[in-house]
Amino acid sequence: MSAKNSQATSPEAVVRAMYAAWDTVGFIESYKIYMHDDVIMENPGGAVFHGLEMLIKITENYNERYKRPYARIVVKNLAVNGNTVLTERDETCYNRETGDTFSGFVAMSAFVVENGKITRWADYFDPTPYKVGSALPDSGPNFFGKKKTA
């Protein structure tokens, strides 16, 4: 199954296919394939993003700052209850052109999938690497305006 012509229909298959697409077509293209136009994406304790268009804009900002538009995912645990999928994942974000990577990112996520599209995504993670700079490429400020520290 190609990412552009996905046949993933079960909630688990949709989430797994989206994670796989992060490694093949990148975050933004995978969102266009697997996210509903009215998706709600939450970072509890942080921002709530409404709609695919906003999620894409936020991801473009992430890509501009962190310069890692792809990720390899290892799903450590996964549970499904109806149309809700919970995952625990290890994530290695990377840039194909520069070879820059950031690994060690661990997140728990809750997805709601309806008619083959993700309608809600909540991501639970420790933002410390993004706040203190260890997730940053070698130059540029993070989302909090700070430069990478040694």
- The CA distance from 63 to 111, in Å, is 22
Nearest of 47, 53, 5, 55 to residue 27 by alpha carbon: 55
Domains and CATH numbers, the chain: 11-132 (3.10.450.50)
Alpha carbon distances (Å) from 6 to 31, 32, 35, 92: 12, 12, 12, 23
Task: Give this prediction's pTM.
Answer: 0.83
Element (H, E) at 7: none
Tens of pLDDT, residue by residue over 45-92, are 788 999 999 999 999 998 998 899 999 999 999 999 999 999 999 999
Nearest of 64, 75, 65 to residue 22 by alpha carbon: 75
